[in-house]
Amino acid sequence: NAGVTQTPKFRILKIGQSMTLQCAQDMNHNYMYWYRQDPGMGLKLIYYSVGAGITDKGEVPNGYNVSRSTTEDFPLRLELAAPSQTSVYFCATGTGWSTEAFFGQGTRLTVV
Amino acid sequence: AQSVTQLDSQVPVFEEAPVELRCNYSSSVSVYLFWYVQYPNQGLQLLLKYLSGSTLVKGINGFEAEFNKSQTSFHLRKPSVHISDTAEYFCAVSDRAAGNTGKLIFGQGTTLQVKP
């Protein structure tokens, strides 16, 4: 089993461009999450989903959009990239409640 | 709302020495507590978690943590570290309330540097 797969691993965007970060899981988990990691700031929740067709905002949703049409996939969309979105993005899955979250390897995004 | 503070951004230590990574949290509701580890260029993986019961929790790779409710702390310890423990460590909390969706609030992270 691959677990949580994120693509691409690295990307450089120009200001104003758009892109989609892909996240796919084969763990059959209902809950999926997108976090961003910035140096010295820990991880911040961007969006999360409790199941197909249901998404909600996290702590830092501005500038991002998500969709969840299937249990397996949870893409994160950046519409107008800004330098402030330079970060490492992690997708995670879980069964919610008290269980652990399983993280992908991350996508390192640079906006120039 | 919850917040998590990791009191040390970097902790240098010599191999085979003991180490403690400190974590304090603030919350108006009861929380679950977690420690995650991130090795270079990798995602996060769970070290240990406290849900209920014994306040001393043992995790993988010889790590343990103690929950102290009165001090709202969850410090991580290892009696003897190895070079391979060099990584970034994150403390996190999750709301215990009904309908908990497993969302995590993370601390800023502590870089453990183990020197030979």
Contacts of A35 in chain B (CB under 8 A): 104, 106
Nearest to A45 among B4, B103, B107 (CB): B103
Residue ranges of chain A with per-residue pLDDT less than 50: none
Q: Looking at chain B, which residue has its C-alpha nearest residue A108?
A: B41
Give the span between the Cα atoms of B108 and B57, in whole angstroms: 22
Lowest-pLDDT range of A106-110, B75-79, B100-104: B100-104
**Shortest alpha-carbon distance between residue B61 and chain A (Å):** 17
**Shortest alpha-carbon distance between residue B60 and chain A (Å):** 14
Nearest to B51 by CA among B37, B67, B63: B67
> What is the number of H-type helices and E-type strands within chain B?
0, 12
pLDDT, tens digit, for every residue of B27-66? Answer: 988 889 999 999 988 899 999 999 989 999 999 999 999 9
Does A98 sit within 8 Å of B49, measured CB to CB? yes
Give the span between the Cα atoms of A94 and A101, in whole angstroms: 5
Count other C-beta atoms under 10 Å from residue B41's C-beta. 10
In total, the C-beta contacts within 8 angstroms joining chain A to chain B are: 67
Asked if residues B110 and B11 have their Cβ atoms less than 8 Å apart, the reply is yes
| The pair of three-digit structure tokens given for residue B76, joined into one six-digit string | 């991580």
In terms of phi and psi (left: phi > 0; alpha: psi -120 to 50; beta: otherwise), the region of B41 is left
Q: A97, A105, A108: best mutation site toward chain B, by most B Cβ within 10 Å? A: A97
What's the half-sphere exposure (Cβ side, CA atoms, 13 Å) at A4? 27
With a CB cutoff of 8 Å and minimum separation 6, the contacts of B98 are none
pLDDT, tens digit, for every residue of A31-52? Answer: 999 999 998 899 999 999 999 9
Contacts of B105 in chain A (CB under 8 A): 45
Give the span between the Cα atoms of B11 and B97, in whole angstroms: 34
Structure confidence at residue A35 (pLDDT) = 97
Structure confidence at residue B89 (pLDDT) = 98
